[in-house]
Amino acid sequence: MHTPVLLTEVIKWLQVQPDEKYIDATVGEGGHSKAILELGGLVLGIDRDKNQIKSFFNNLTGFKNRITLKQGNFSDIDKIAKDAKFEKVSGVLFDLGVSMGQLRGTIPGLSYQNESDLLDMRLDDASDETASDILNQYDKKNLYQIIAGYGEELKASVIIDEIFQIRIKNKIKTVGDLNRVLKKIGGGEKTQRRVFQALRIAVNHEFDNLSSALIKAIKLIKPGGRILVISFHSNEDRIVKQFINKNRLKQLHKKLIVANRLAYSFERSARLRVFTNSSI
């Protein structure tokens, strides 16, 4: 099991108490949930990827009577929690990154290194639209909103012009197809990372889901309960910061908590915010 980024910091700020309830809204490979269980907490684990849920449960030993696992979108966290009788919880954790397993190929198209993969990127079956559909069907304005807006890629206009030149004759279907576009315009690994991340965010409606989930999560925690959000994108972090300020919630640390330099390259952008439902 991969040790998730900022695990030590998450456990420190979550302040797990025995027999208290915690929601891990993004189970992934289960590193955070397992740590909460080991400290005596009760866990409701949610993930969009049914394979992640199945794999974690099958490999979990000794705590299966203390955890409830549900496949679903955390934008429905209120309904999932109600069905699982997990209301009035002590903490909710959102880790907005993708897992090592997903990057290695369990979700086709997430990694720019798996060139034969189809450009799918869907974390569940809720959407019929893939990354390939976006690249081959969207107009220039909407593609720019994704690549420049979500990906913060400075070469967005050049990339989009090249996409339109290529898709006239051949659809962009695989990771390799997109990589060749990015290579042709002189984009390096940072450009690859930004474009692939932007497409994943668009396919899975991640920003909208986060905004919806935060509104519902704050209603689930007990007075003084804590919400922790690990983000990997400046727009994600901005959504969280604006939510805290708009609702006059209390952030429990003065400085932004960030990953150390020893983290995996795709995890070094991780930043953690911790806040409670107590007013400022």
Residue with tokens 């990906």: 151
Residues ≥6 apart with Cβ < 8 Å to 217:
23, 25, 77, 92, 94, 227
Q: Is 76 annotated as belonging to a binding site?
A: no
Q: Is 102 annotated as belonging to a binding site?
A: yes
- Residue 36: which of 61, 60, 15, 58 has the closest Cα? 15
Q: Is 101 annotated as belonging to a binding site?
A: no
Specify the length of the chain in residues.
280
Q: Is 186 annotated as belonging to a binding site?
A: no
Q: Is 30 annotated as belonging to a binding site?
A: yes
Contact 220, 92 (CB under 8 A): yes
Residues ≥6 apart with Cβ < 8 Å to 123:
48, 49, 102, 107, 204
Q: Is 95 annotated as belonging to a binding site?
A: yes
Q: Is 266 annotated as belonging to a binding site?
A: no
Which residues belong to the annotated binding site for S-adenosyl-L-methionine? 30-32, 47, 74, 95, 102
Which residues belong to the annotated binding site? 30-32, 47, 74, 95, 102
